[in-house]
Every structure is written in structure tokens, then in C-alpha cells.
Amino acid sequence: MNPSFEILKNKLGELADIKGAIALMMWDQEVMMPKGSIHLRARQLGTLSGMQHEKFVKETGEILSILNDQQADLNAHEQQDLAEVQREYTRMTRVPTQLIIDLQKGAAEAQHAWELSRKANDFSVFAPALSNLVALRLQEAQCLGHSGNPYDAMLDCYERDASAASLEKLFVPMRQQLTGLIHAIQAAPQVDDSFLYQPISPQAQLAFSEKVLEKMGYDFTTGRQDISTHPFTIGMGSQDIRITTRVKENDIIEMLYSSIHEGGHALYEQGISMENYGLPSGEYCSIGIHESQSRIWENNVGRSLAFWEHWFPTFRELFPDKLAGKGPEDVFKAVNKVSPSFIRTSADELTYHFHIMLRFEIENLLINGSIKVNDLPSVWNELLKNYLGIGPPDLLNGVLQDVHWSHGSFGYFPTYSLGSFYAAQFMAKAGETLPDLQKSIEKGEFSAFRNWLKINVHQKGRSGNPENLCKSVCGEGLNVEFFIDYAKEKFEAVYGIRI
């Protein structure tokens, strides 16, 4: 290895160590931390985030400029890593360390306010902390630079080169297609899913999810599953990737698909080699690609008939009535029931994207100053009415349902839809390459599929924008037709219709 590149790699490894500590503090805050420790944790997170930023900006500039002069001595992988680090360096030097600290502290405080606000069903408890975060992220967008729309600078933080305009181009025709599909479904005989909502002990639910996770290949020797309000995956480096789920006695389905979803995220990070620890090639590509890995397992695999062909016999044993008279196809249909609802995370695969479009639209308005934080509850309700024809009974079922804004993560939501679109495209490609894919899923055998993802997606790390990764996997950039085709085929089967 080029000695200067080795210096850079070691420095980035130290930065990854700090990131790992921050990730652990965040995991602990959600899963383990005593509630009264929140202010202390906020200041500690602020300090570490500031340090990580300061160290990156102060300590990599010199070696980067040396390496830029030595590019000819680097191999193609090293050149790619160098270009990625240089890009990040240029971005980060534009943001003052104090702003990073303020954002981290502001987010910790806002999350606390969000929780109190949910308890009180009172948006005004959350509003001041949220306004503070909007102001801070606007400052950050100003530092990062954008061509007119500060929201673009935020989108780019999660999905490189995404913009409000490019997303609208995807969402506008998608809205039309989905509306057509949903209307056809609403005209068909409805699916019964009531038999799934029976009391099952949390222990038995979790044990089932662990069986599925193990079969997926989630490595429990370098991971663990816990309970949290909002399921998430967090990584301290590929040798410590943790997931959470949530458990309600009468809803094993929510628990199961949360586990599979987070398990998919975790497989992505466990699939990245420790050899590239700290380097861009040892990191995930983008949030949208990350989301494709959770959704491909949750929806394309986990909500398929093939999946239930294998898992139904074990699943049935959990139920008080052993699901008498039901078969794999009944569960397949039930877990794909389409019905407008209030909560994004439990929405079906079609109406889900309206939840995202709503948030995308609101964020764009908020960041551009067209609406204020205090307008959020009413704008939310109005848009939900327009899109899905329903109005939430309270704030928990409405504007206060997601944790993201309390983290200041404006621009994050669209990556969920992108994830679904990428997942459909990757799944189609995997099906081409692995002709026995559906048969192996029917047998509960996931290893060929997991390896395909590992080689084609996970181990590529970050070496360019998600569009480039998609091209290297599929031979073309993002093409939402794959999602439309997938959705039509699946929901025609679920509802017995032809569209």
C-alpha cells in the first residue's frame, strides 16, 4: 500500500472509531439509557461529534493534498477512495465545527421534546426544539451550498445528487400509477387479515423473528436485537451491527416485518469487509441503497408467497388457534392487504409512498420558508386528506409519529421510496442471475440470494453516487418501471385482478 494512503487509512480508522462511539451512545440512548441522563448524553454526543468533525477537517487536509499529487501511484480502488474522501473533506470544511456540535445537541434535546410532546399530544411542546433544528440545518445548507433550493443540500446528505426537482420527476408519474392501482384494488373483494391479530407472547414473537433473522444470515455473534419505540439499525463498524424491533402482543406482523427490515439493513453492514474499515469503500453507498437492502428482504422476499410457503408451518404454531383452516396463501394475502392508514411504518407497500410524498412535500415547503413549524399539524392533515382521504385522530397518528424530524433529518424520507424502487430493480436482476431464486425462498434457503447481494451491493461500499452503483449492478440507472411491474404482478395475485 502507498505509505501516504496508509496514513490516510489509519486517520480515517480513528475517525471511524469516534463514529463507533457516537453510534453506541445513540443506541444506548434509545434502548438502555436511564431517562434522567438525557442532558448529560446530549452534551457528550455534542462533544464527540464536534471532535470527529474537527479531527477530520484538521488532520486529513495535508495528507489529502499529498495524495492528490501521488494519484499515479495509487491503484484504481485507492483512487476511488481518495476521490470520495476528498469530496467529503471539501463538504466538511465548509461546515464550522461549532455548527456540528449545535446540531448534535439540538437533535438530542429535540428528541426528548418529541417524546414529551407525544405523551402530552401537544405539538407546541416539540415546536421550539424543532424550529431550532430547522434553523441549524438551514445554516448547514448555506455552508454546503446549493443552486437555489436549500432542501437540495439536505437531500444530498442522504442520497447524493438527489434534488427536489429530480424526486418530483419520479413521484408525479408514480402518484398517478399508484392511484390507478389502488382504485382497482378498492373495487375488488377485500382481503381478510383479521386472523393475524391474535395474542402471542412477546417472547414467542421475538424467538420467531430470531429464527428468521438467523436464516437470513444475520450474525448474532456480532449483533443483537433489542426493543425500542422506533425500530432501527445502528453500526459501530461491521463487527458490531445492532437492530431493534417493537413488540405488541396482538401484532406479530409489525414485529416480524420490523425485524426483517432491520435485518436487511444489518446484512448490508455486516457484509462490508473490516479490511476497508474507515474508508469510503468500507461504508454504505447511500441511505437509499441502504433502504433497498431492508426493503428487498422485508417486501420482495418477506411478503412473497414463496416466503410463506416455507415459514407458515412454524408461524402457525405460535397462534392460539394454530390458524386452523388457513394456509400460506392466506398469510401472503393478509400481509399484503392494501388499506389507507395513518402510520407510515405500518402502511402497505402501495399507500406507503403517499406517506413519503406527503413528507417530501411538507419538508420542501418548510425548508423553503413557505410554511412555518407551527403550521405542520394542519398542513399534514390537509395533505393526508388529499392523498389518502383520511384524517388522523390525534398527533401520534399524525405529525408526531416519526422520530426523523426530532433528529433534524429533513431530506431523509424520500430515501425510503427510493429504497423500494431500487429493491424492485435489484430483485429483478437477482432473479435473472439466480434462476432458482424463488424455489430457494420456498425452501427457506437464503444463502445464494444473500451472497448475491453481498457481492453485488454490500462489498462495493461507497464508490460514487447511488446511480453509479445501480448501473454497476443492473447495467442501467434507477428505473421505476421495475417497481411498477413488481407491484402490478404482486397485487394482481393478492386481489385476483387484472390491471
- The residues that touch a second copy, with contacts defined as CB under 8 A, are 13-14, 17-18, 20-22, 24-25, 28, 32-37, 39-41, 43-44, 46-48, 51, 219-224, 236-237, 239-240, 242, 274
Nearer to a second copy, 245 or 299 (CB): 245
CB neighbours (10 Å) of residue 389? 8
Q: Which long-range contacts (CB under 8 A, 24 or more apart) does 347-353 make?
A: 349/299, 349/303, 349/420, 349/487, 349/490, 350/178, 350/181, 350/182, 350/185, 350/487, 350/491, 351/178, 351/182, 351/388, 352/416, 352/417, 352/420, 353/171, 353/174, 353/175, 353/178, 353/417, 353/420
Instruction: Determine whether 84 is an active site residue.
Output: no
Give the torsion sign (CA, 43, 46, 52, 55): negative
Q: Which is nearer to a second copy, 223 or 264 (CB)?
A: 223
Minimum CB separation from a second copy for residue 178, in Å? 40
- Point out the catalytic residue in the list 262, 283, 309, 363: 262
Nearest approach, Cβ of 349 to a second copy (angstroms)? 32
Considering the complex, what minimum distance in angstroms separates the CB of residue 99 from a second copy?
17
What's the Cα-to-Cα distance from 1 to each of 7, 68, 74, 363, rounded to whole Å? 10, 15, 8, 45
Instruction: Work out the number of other CB atoms within 10 angstroms of the CB of residue 403.
Output: 18
Angle between helices 127-144 and 97-120 (to 10 degrees): 150
- For residues 88 and 226, which CB has a smaller minimum distance to a second copy in the complex? 226
Task: Supply the minimum distance, in Å, between the C-beta of residue 242 and a second copy.
Answer: 8
What is the arrangement of strands in the sheet containing 233-235, beginning at the earlier edge strand?
225-227, 241-245, 233-235
Paired with 242 in beta bridges are 234
b/e per residue 434-462 (b: at least 16 CB within 10 A): eeebeebbbeeebeebbebbbebbbebbb
| Residue 283: count of CB within 10 angstroms of its CB | 20
Of the pair 113, 243, the CB lying nearest a second copy is at: 243
Q: Which CB sits closer to a second copy, 47 or 75?
A: 47
DSSP-based helix, strand, coil % in the chain, nearest 5? 70, 0, 30
Smallest distance, a second copy to C-beta of residue 21, A: 5
Least separation in angstroms between residue 235's CB and a second copy is: 10
Nearer to a second copy, 206 or 236 (CB): 236
The one-letter code for the residue type at 495 is Y
Least distance between a second copy and beta carbon 422 (Å)? 29
Measured from the CB atom, the residue of 37 and 250 that comes closer to a second copy is 37
Name the residues annotated as catalytic.
262
